[in-house]
A and B are shown apart, each in its own frame.
Chain A
C-alpha cells in the first residue's frame, strides 16, 4: 500500500517536474578585460546543484532547469569567483564576464571574496599563487608584509610572526587547509609552522568577523587555502628554485598533481630550504642559519555534490639564534647595548649551533562534504596535529648541548561540522559546531624548569552567521558564536613565588603536593565567551562601502597564566597570573574602495577597544647568581587601538602602473595612560611597475619603503647599579630606533611558454643599497642591524 502511494506521488512529481522544468540556461563566460572566452570555467546553478564546465568557446548549457530565481556561481582558477542572480521564466541566455586579476603579476588583489567562506563585510586581502611563487623562499610573516596593515614581529631574519593591525601571537588565528594551526603561538619568538608553498592562495582577514574559525581572533585570521584542482583528466607540476646571496642559501619547492574527470585527485608537494648565516652591511650575523623540510599530500574526490579528502602535511625547521643575543643578566645587556656591533662575530658558516630552535609539525585532516538539493552544503571534518618544539641553549657541560632546554610536545584533536544553507532566496545562513582536545607535555628530561606546564585543554564552539541581500547593492550580515574552554594543568611553583603572589588565599585547594621549595599545583580553569559580528556592505556605482562591528573574546594563553621563571631567550624573568580573565574586544571597521578603472583605492580606518588586554612589562630587578635580571610581569589593562590602511593603485599606461600602500596604527594603554609596546610604526611603500604580457610577460618594478620612527612607545627605561664599576647605569630597552628607507627591485621574464611547459626567470633585490638599519619590530634590534642587501634569483617551472 505504502509503495503505491509513494509511486503515485513520484509520478505526480515527475509530471509536475516535466511541465515547468524543461528550460535551458546557457551563455558565454569571458574575461572582463579583453573579452577572451574562459575555457574550463565552472558554472554552478545553486539550488538544483547542477555544475557544468565551459567548453573551448567559453560556452555553457544547463538543461532541465525549473522556473524560478537562482544564484549562478561562476569560478575559474585564475579569476575571482562571481555570483549573480538569474531569473528563469523560459529559456535564458546569460553572458558573464569574470575579472582575470591574477595576470597582473605585481598586483595583490586589494579586496576579494575569493572563496565564499568569508563574510562579505569582512576586510579580506587575497594573495594569489603567482605572488606565492615570487616569494617562495620567504616565511609566512615575511610574505604577508606585502598586505597593507600587516606587519611582522621578528626575532632575527627567520622568525617572523604576522602582526595584523597591531595585534599578533595568540590574537591571530591561522587556518591551514581548514585546520586551525595549533603550535605554541603564545611565544613571541615562535614563528608559524607553515610552508607557504603548500598553499594555492593565502587570504588575510583583518579583524574578528570571521566567526566560523573561532571567537578569539581579535587580530584577524590568516587562511592558507588549498590549491584548486580542476575536475578533468590532467597531470601537472610546479617547481620553484631560489638562490639567495644573503645567507648563501637555496630553496627548492615542487608539486605534482594528477586529477581525473571522475573527480578523483592526488597531489604531493615538498619544500627544502638551506641557509647559512645572514649578513648585515657591516658584519656577519653569526649563528643565524636556517633549515626547512616540508611535505604535503592531498588525496580525495570532489564531484561537486559530494567530496571526501585526506590532507597530510609535515613541516620541520631548524633555526639558529644570533649568538650575540643570548645573554646573561643586565650587566651583559648593558655591554650589548653599549656596543655598536654584536659582541660575537665569526666568519660565515652554514653550521647552526646552540642557541637554536627545532620544530616539527604534523597535520592530518579528513574531511567530507555533501550538497543537498535546495538546501545547502554539509561538511564534516576531523583533524589531528602534533607539534614538537625544542629550544637548545649553550650548556655548562658542552656535551649536553644536544639536550634541549625547552621540549614541548603538543597534540591536538579537533572535530567540526557545518551546514551552509545557500538555497534561501536573497539570504544565506551558515551554522556549525566544533570540539577540540589538546594535550601539552613539557618534557622533564631537559633538567630545566618548565617554561609552560603540562596541561589538557577542552574547547567547544558553536556559531551561526547569516547574510541578507536587501538588493543588488546592499547586503547585511550578522553572526554569533559561543565558545567554552577548559584548561586542566599540573604546574610546579616555587614556594617562595606562590606565597609572594598571595595565591594561597585563592587557590590553596589546587595544591596537590608540597615538596618544600616547590609545590605541585593543579589549576583547573573554565572560560566562557560570546562573540558576535554585524556588518553592512553597500555599493554606489563603482564605490564599495563596508562597515563592520565585531565582538571577540580571547581566553588567556598558557604563557600568560603560568609563566614563572627565567625565560632565557628573552634574558628576563617572566611572571604570569592565574587570576586572568578573557580579553574582550570591540572593533569598528570602515572600508571605502574603488576596484574598477585606471585609478583604484582602498581606504580602511578602524578602531578597537579591548578590555582585559594582556600586556607584559618590566616591574623590577631581581638579584640572582648570574647578576641582576629584569623581572617582567603580565597584567591586564584597558587598551585602545586605532589605525588606517590606505592602498592606491594607478594604471598610468597599459603597461605602467603605480602602487602606494600606507599603514598607521596607534595603541594606548588606557589604564596607565602610556603607549603600548611593539606597535608597528607608520610605514609607506610606493612601487612603480612595468608589465608587458606581449613580450614574454616581462615585468620590472622598483619599490621604495619608508618606515618612520615610532614616536609613541612606553618609556620602560630603568636604572641599575653596577658593582664592578660602582656606577649607576640606565638600561634602555624601549627607545625605538630611527626611521629608515629601503629600495627594492624586482624583475621577471618568461623564457619558455608553450602549451605544456612554462618557465620563468625572476630576479629580486631587497635592500638594494645595502643600508644599515634597525627595525623596532625586531626583538634582536638591541644586538645587531637588520639584513643587508639580498639578491635572489628564481626559476619557476610549470609543466
Chain B
C-alpha cells in the first residue's frame, strides 16, 4: 500500500538523521570536557641580560657594561649601563648571558659555550680600540666569550657586541673578528655607551 511505503521511507530518514545527530553530539560532548587552563610558557631561549666584565691588566678598576631587558620583546625600553675605560690600557673581557625572568637566573653563556661551534661574538666600536679573541671552539675557531680589549686615546662613543648563530667561521676575515662575510642569524645585537678617559 502506498501509505505504508511512505511511512517506511520517512522513518528510515528519521533513523538516519538520528544517527548523524548522535555521532555529532557525541563528539561535541567529548571535546568540551577540557576545562583546564593553558600552561604558562616561560620562554626557554630568552636572554634578558648581556653583562661584559672588563678587568684591567694595568691595575685599573673593573668596568661592568650591562644590558637588561626583562620584558623581552615587550614595549619597555632596555636598561643599558655604559662605562669609562683608562686610555692606553689592556682589559680582559668576559661575556655573561643570563635569563633573569627565572630565579635563580639561567646562565645562557654556558649553553653558548657547549654549542661553541655554532656561535661567534663580534665586537665593534666607534672608538679607537682593538679586540682579540681569547677562547676557541672544538675546531680551533674563536667564540668570543673571552676577549682582550686594548684602548688608545681619549674619546667618547659606543661599543657594540653581536652574537651570530651558525656563522661561516671559515669565511674571509671572520676568525679575525670581521663580521662582513660571517652570515648566520643574529641572536644578540646590543650597543653600550663607552668612553676612554
Contacts and interface: CB of A to CB of B under 8 A. Distances in A.
A245 to B, nearest CB: 29
B13 to A, nearest CB: 6
Contacts of A724: 124, 160, 162, 191
A565 interface: yes
A448 interface: yes
B83 to A, nearest CB: 16
A515 to B, nearest CB: 6
A332 B187 CA distance: 11
B37 A437 contact: no
Interface string B53-70: 000000000000001011
B188 to A, nearest CB: 6
A515 B40 contact: yes
A395 B70 contact: no
Contact of B101 (A331, A517, A624): A517
Contacts of A394: 165-166, 185
A370 to B, nearest CB: 6
Contacts of A454: 38
Interface residues on A, range: 35 or more
Interface in A422-450: 437, 439, 442, 444, 446-450
Interface in B1-25: 1-3, 13, 16-17, 20, 23-24
A368 B185 contact: no
Interface stretch (B44-52, B137-145, B147-155): B44-52
A413 interface: yes
Contacts of B74: 494, 496-497
A344 B32 CA distance: 47
Nearest to A7: B1
Interface in A321-340: 326-329, 331-332
A40 interface: no
Counting chain B CB atoms within 10 Å of each CB, the highest count among A397, A446, A448, A626 belongs to A626
A370 B13 contact: yes
Contact of B69 (A411, A492, A624): A624
Given A448-B45, A496-B71, A622-B73, A368 B28 contact: no
A776 to B, nearest CB: 26
Find the residue from A500, A512, A724 having the highest chain B CB count within 10 A: A724
Contacts of B44: 447-448
A194 to B, nearest CB: 23
Interface in B115-170: 115, 118, 124, 126, 158, 160, 162, 165-166
B111 A397 contact: yes
B17 A331 contact: no
B111 to A, nearest CB: 6
Interface string A352-389: 00000000000000101010000000001010100000
Interface string A598-640: 0000000000000000000000001111110100000000000
A2 to B, nearest CB: 11
Nearest to B45: A396
Interface of B: 1-3, 13, 16-17, 20, 23-24, 27-28, 31-32, 34, 37-41, 43-45, 47-48, 50, 67, 69-78, 101, 111-112, 115, 118, 124, 126, 158, 160, 162, 165-166, 183, 185-191
User: A-B pairs with the 6 shortest C-beta distances?
Assistant: A328-B186, A627-B189, A447-B44, A723-B191, A444-B39, A494-B74
